[in-house]
């Protein structure tokens, strides 16, 4: 008996040592924040909207200057949760009212990865991966879903428009977005409508819940994975009263400053809880800003030197701020190595010792050696971009290669980004050098025709993967019967 007690004691000790080894992970995902919106990326005071907390995080971690995402909220979030190109999960289009796409039960998410390793897991804030039960965070590996914006913030604008259209209140109320909270059994309960009024309060509530969770988990000495889905700076730019008029750059600037402050609250909670040294913090945006979309008074997002915005497939839609901090493990620095949002799934799996699924293609690559400095550069030098399930752009090294042409604006300021035009090309791809020509104004196909070979190779590899693992049917909103 004594010996058995000793064994149990040793096992408990080892278990606790093991727990100690495993870092906590906090992911903060901003919504529609552009490359030109954050101080560490050349904005801040220069744009009349300082971001000292995010800048501080950037200076303490690895700041990516070539961090690429998918061109929209849902696709990018699907890529982050699954490590896969969004069309593989049928999520290559942004979920909007009435579209049937939703995260499938069969997908393996970050939540499930961490759960498999015994982490406590929590999802706070915006989800946007489908509202059907199989898609709920609580059915996808997260212990809880708090201040749950299961849809997106666009919906806060619909009530007014539906009322003016004369629709009946019952219909309006039924389609009004909600704030959801999970119960012990993982069921979701709508605790309030997500109104324009509450839009001013949601970011503060997300921060409060995240801060409390960090404190509780630190006390419980249980390793945790916390996912914070911020709602800023998605339109409408309605902020908490103390941030109204805080920036020199209008309501959008105020929203950036509230986002920075809320980020600071979470970072402070990690410090206060005494777990800073053993906590990985990943702060990223989901896609480029939307300077021409949303209500006019909410505009102001900026993609810095790059052309394009969320919804098209130009660099401005795809290159966003991103940084990761892990004291003592990831040396503070900036790197221009290519990293994509798909990479965090296999990278975090490696770090926490989880297995990634072997029965499906995983498009992300494990960047842990690059992050921790065992390897100087990223393992990635390419990325395919989709809208729906269609290939609309390929990145290979410094080249952007397009089988389609995105036409921004063309004189109509409400027709850009996701609301922009797309034209068929004559039959040959366009090739831009994003280093030489950040605004993608000079098609270099004539001198860089050789780039078509790696472009076709990348597409060929992807298409071959579909033979064994076909994509689910994609949701299309502008093409039918084809």
Instruction: Please count the residues of the chain.
Output: 482
209 touches 245 (CB < 8 A): no
Q: Which is nearer to its own copies, 125 or 300 (CB)?
A: 300
- Helix, strand, coil share (%) of the chain residues, nearest 5: 35, 20, 45
CA dist., res. 281 & res. 265, Å (int): 13
Phi, psi of 92 (to 5 degrees): -80, -5
CB of 467 to its own copies, least distance (A): 36
Q: Which stretch binds its own copies (CB under 8 A): 266-274, 298-306, 453-461, 472-480?
A: 298-306
Q: Which of 52, 186, 193, 305 binds its own copies (CB under 8 A)?
A: 305
CB of 480 to its own copies, least distance (A): 34
Closest CA to 465 of 382, 364, 361, 375: 361
- Which pair of structure tokens corresponds to residue 282? 């990943």
User: How crowded is residue 172: how many other Cβ atoms within 10 Å of its Cβ?
Assistant: 17
Q: Does 454 bind its own copies (CB under 8 A)?
A: no
Q: Which of 36, 72, 148, 417 binds its own copies (CB under 8 A)?
A: 36
CB of 316 to its own copies, least distance (A): 11
Q: Which is nearer to its own copies, 199 or 307 (CB)?
A: 307
126 touches 74 (CB < 8 A): no
CA dist., res. 248 & res. 320, Å (int): 22
Write the DSSP symbol of residue 391. E
Q: Which stretch binds its own copies (CB under 8 A): 108-116, 171-179, 265-273, 438-446?
A: 438-446
Q: Which is nearer to its own copies, 231 or 249 (CB)?
A: 249
Residues between 40 and 79 that touch its own copies (CB under 8 A): 41-42, 44-49, 65-66
- Which pair of structure tokens corresponds to residue 364? 């992300």
User: How crowded is residue 334: how many other Cβ atoms within 10 Å of its Cβ?
Assistant: 14
CB of 231 to its own copies, least distance (A): 21
CB of 428 to its own copies, least distance (A): 20
CB of 44 to its own copies, least distance (A): 8
Q: Which stretch binds its own copies (CB under 8 A): 211-219, 235-243, 340-348, 437-445?
A: 437-445
Q: Which is nearer to its own copies, 125 or 253 (CB)?
A: 253
Q: Which is nearer to its own copies, 409 or 471 (CB)?
A: 409
Q: Which is nearer to its own copies, 237 or 367 (CB)?
A: 237
Q: Does 336 bind its own copies (CB under 8 A)?
A: yes
Rounded to the nearest 10 degrees, the angle between the axes of helix 344-352 and helix 73-82 is 30
Per-residue x/- track, 221-260, its own copies (CB under 8 A)? ---------------------------xxx-xx-------
Q: Which is nearer to its own copies, 39 or 223 (CB)?
A: 39
Of the CA atoms within 13 Å of residue 431, those in its CB half-sphere come to 18
Alpha helices, H only, 221-343: 250-272, 315-318
Q: Does 479 bind its own copies (CB under 8 A)?
A: no
Q: Does 119 bind its own copies (CB under 8 A)?
A: no
Q: Which is nearer to its own copies, 44 or 346 (CB)?
A: 44
Q: Alpha-carbon Rg of the chain, whole angstroms?
A: 22
243 touches 184 (CB < 8 A): no
Q: Does 171 bind its own copies (CB under 8 A)?
A: no
325: Cβ contacts below 8 Å, ≥ 6 apart = 57, 60, 61, 62, 280, 281, 332
CA dist., res. 406 & res. 393, Å (int): 10
Residues in touch with its own copies (CB under 8 A):
36, 41-42, 44-49, 65-66, 248-250, 252-253, 291, 299-300, 302, 304-305, 336, 398, 413, 433, 435-439, 441-442
């Amino acid at each position: 008996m004594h010996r058995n007690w000793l064994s149990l004691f040793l096992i408990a000790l080892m278990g606790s040592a093991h727990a100690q080894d495993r870092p906590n992970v906090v992911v903060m995902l901003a919504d529609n924040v552009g490359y030109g919106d954050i101080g560490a990326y050349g904005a801040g005071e220069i744009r009349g909207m300082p971001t000292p907390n995010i800048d501080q995080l950037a200076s303490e971690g690895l700041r990516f200057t070539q961090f690429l995402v998918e061109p929209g909220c849902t696709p990018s979030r699907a890529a982050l949760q699954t490590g896969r190109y969004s069309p593989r999960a049928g999520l290559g289009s942004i979920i909007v009212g009435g579209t049937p796409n939703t995260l499938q039960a069969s997908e393996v998410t970050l939540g499930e990865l961490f759960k498999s390793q015994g982490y406590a897991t929590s999802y706070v804030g915006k989800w946007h991966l489908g509202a059907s039960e199989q898609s709920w965070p609580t059915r996808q590996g997260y212990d809880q879903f708090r201040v749950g914006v299961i849809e997106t913030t666009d919906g806060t604008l619909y009530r007014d428009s539906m009322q003016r259209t004369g629709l009946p209140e019952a219909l309006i109320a039924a389609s009004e977005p909600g704030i959801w909270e999970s119960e012990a059994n993982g069921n979701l309960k709508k605790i309030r409508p997500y109104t324009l009024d509450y839009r001013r309060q949601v970011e503060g509530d997300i921060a409060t819940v995240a801060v409390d969770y960090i404190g509780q988990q630190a006390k419980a000495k249980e390793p945790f994975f916390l996912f914070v889905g911020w709602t800023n700076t998605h339109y409408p730019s309605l902020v908490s009263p103390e941030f109204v008029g805080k920036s020199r750059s209008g309501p959008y600037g105020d929203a950036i400053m509230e986002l920075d402050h809320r980020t600071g609250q979470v970072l402070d909670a990690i410090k206060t809880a005494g777990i800073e040294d053993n906590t990985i913090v990943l702060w990223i945006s989901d896609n480029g800003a939307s300077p021409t979309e949303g209500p006019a008074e909410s505009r102001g997002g900026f993609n810095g030197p790059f052309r394009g915005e969320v919804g098209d497939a130009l660099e401005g839609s795809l290159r966003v701020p991103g940084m990761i901090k892990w004291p003592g493990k990831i040396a503070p620095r900036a790197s221009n190595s290519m990293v994509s949002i798909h990479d965090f799934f296999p990278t975090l799996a490696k770090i926490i010792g989880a297995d990634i699924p072997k029965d499906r293609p995983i498009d992300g690559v494990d960047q842990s050696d690059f992050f921790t400095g065992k390897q100087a550069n990223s393992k990635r030098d390419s990325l395919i971009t989709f809208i729906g399930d269609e290939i609309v752009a390929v990145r290979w090294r410094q080249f952007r290669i397009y089988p389609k042409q995105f036409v921004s604006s063309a004189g109509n300021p409400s027709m850009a980004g996701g609301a922009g035009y797309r034209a068929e090309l004559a039959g040959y791809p366009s090739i831009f050098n994003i280093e030489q020509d950040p605004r993608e104004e000079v098609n270099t196909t004539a001198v860089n025709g050789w780039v078509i070979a790696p472009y076709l190779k990348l597409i060929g590899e992807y298409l071959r993967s579909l033979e064994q693992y076909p994509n689910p049917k994609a949701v299309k909103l502008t093409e039918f019967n084809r």
